[in-house]
Amino acid sequence: MPLHRSTTRPASKPSAQTPAASLASPPEFLLTEELPRDHFPVSGGQPHAIHQAIAEELLLDGNSKQNLATFCQTWEAPEVHQLMDLAIDKNLIDKDEYPQTAEIESRCVRMLADLWHAPGEAMGCSTVGSSEAAMLGGMAAKWRWREKQKAAGKPTDRPNMVCGAVQICWHKFARYWDIELREVGMRAGRLCLDPADVLERVDENTIFVVPTMGVTYHGLYEDVAGIAAALDEHHAKTGVDIPIHVDAASGGFLAPFTAPDAAAWDFRLPRVKSINASGHKFGLAPLGVGWVMWREPTDLPDDLVFHVSYLGGDMPTFQINFSRPAGQVIAQYYDFVRLGREGYAAIHGQAHAVARVCAEELAGYDCFRILHDGAAEKGIPAVVWTLADGAAPGFTLYDLADRLRMRGWQVPAYPFTGELADQAFQRILVRRDFNREMADLLLRDIRTAVDHLKAHPPASDASPRRSYSHT
């Protein structure tokens, strides 16, 4: 979560009006004083008035349905809202008190083992999101590597991991758990982690390689099968056996439904030991749920597992967070059962189709070059573009992002990594509530914005900046 600083000004004095008079005098829909901002109030107020004031403050946020930066779901069915209400007071950690909720979580884990082709008995759990899931997968990999090194009488003080352009959670993992992060920056014509780049960086201290199914920056799937084959060959030549953890935060709930015949990326590859995914992204669940799976129980070291009493038996748990709301997991199960494979394929298929429409329109601009057109076999339902080589339209993509925001659209402009850190890119992320009608409205506003910027070129700073942060 973001960190906030409190103000240092002295607390305001309580109103001279007595609490009873302040509550009883005005009608309940009136708010006679500003809401407290930096001191704890002495007395309370009228619930309707306070609710209205806070609700109106929230109007100052962006409209989530026009937020084409976020991967997270911005619409949920009425039945999901009802299930969330039923579970608002349930703590997911309390297995004894809420045994049926624990059973529902277990069902979800078994369903994911089936979806990701676990070869036998897999191990998994829910998390608060894919970032926690990624860190749990990373902790297990470090523990496995450390035990292997100890058994061989080798040092354990210099672990490293190899990855492409990753989401910030992996930078946090590397810093918090003292791992050297060997991140491969992007280059022109090579936006994804390449097997050759992996082999140049791995050694006996590599705890794992992390390819991404849906890179945050450009949405493309990395070549998990190719990287696994390269590591298989490396193992045969050197004897160094390096596992793979797949960051499938987005692709884990897309590829099984929209690209089922594509190259294997999951537990069909023996080198893949763990997978993380986000339930509240393309898993279609409300915000606050992710998943991590291990190929088999031995891939999760027992030293990391805490055993709690559950209905007179043993319930193994592995998590960073302890108390957690249960509603998101229950809603996830509802989505699995309500939609099934066909439902997920239909919803995500439509998202890919809308992305392709947007890509075709944007490809018609001489000043734009498309990097990802939303094709299901290549990546997530997103459209990513940059200014074409040699194009001089008189504006930057940051200017375009600012102009679109005047119409409520959040279409992020941001730099990539590596050799492309000085170049701006832009992205439309298509979710299930961004339908063809919304896409047509956005494309119309893009045409209007481009025409305006060409007619009135801004005095813009072209240096790299962000209208969106990959956090």
Give the largest Cα separation in the chain, rounded. 83
Specify the pLDDT at position 16.
45
List pLDDT tens digits, range 307-356: 766 555 566 777 777 788 999 999 999 999 999 999 999 999 999 999 99
- pLDDT(445) > 90: yes
Extract the tokens encoding 160.
């490293």
CA distances from 198 to 187, 226, 323 (A): 15, 10, 38
**Which CATH number is 80-335 given?**
3.40.640.10
Indicate if the alpha-carbon torsion angle 226, 227, 229, 234 is positive or negative: positive
Domain range annotation of the chain: 25-61, 80-335, 349-455
**Nearest to 287, CA basis, from 468, 67, 114:** 67
List pLDDT tens digits, range 83-98: 999 999 999 988 888 9
Average pLDDT over residues 102-120: 97
**310 strand-pairing partners:** 313
Strands 413-415 and 160-163: unpaired
Question: Taking the model in full, what pTM does it have?
Answer: 0.90
- pLDDT(256) > 50: yes
Distance in angstroms (rounded) separating the CA atoms of residues 321 and 76: 25
Domains 80-335 and 349-455 share a fold: no
Average pLDDT over residues 224-243: 98
- pLDDT(210) > 90: yes
Please give the radius of gyration of the chain, using alpha carbons only, rounded to the nearest integer: 25
Specify the pLDDT at position 19.
47
Cβ proximity of 230 and 265 under 8 Å: no
At 46, is the pLDDT very low, low, confident or very high (cuts 50, 70, 90)? confident
Query: Exposed e or buried b for every residue in 216-240, given b needs 16+ CB within 10 A?
Result: bbbbbbbbbbbbbebbeebeeeeee
| CATH level 3 topology of 349-455 | Aspartate Aminotransferase, domain 1 (3.90.1150)
Specify the pLDDT at position 317.
76
Specify the pLDDT at position 180.
98
Distance in angstroms (rounded) separating the CA atoms of residues 451 and 305: 59
- pLDDT(469) > 70: no
At 34, is the pLDDT very low, low, confident or very high (cuts 50, 70, 90)? confident
At 33, is the pLDDT very low, low, confident or very high (cuts 50, 70, 90)? confident
Residue 17 CA, distance from chain mean position: 48
State the CB neighbour count (10 A cutoff) for residue 256.
22
List pLDDT tens digits, range 143-175: 999 999 999 999 999 999 999 999 899 999 999
Extract the tokens encoding 448.
């209007």
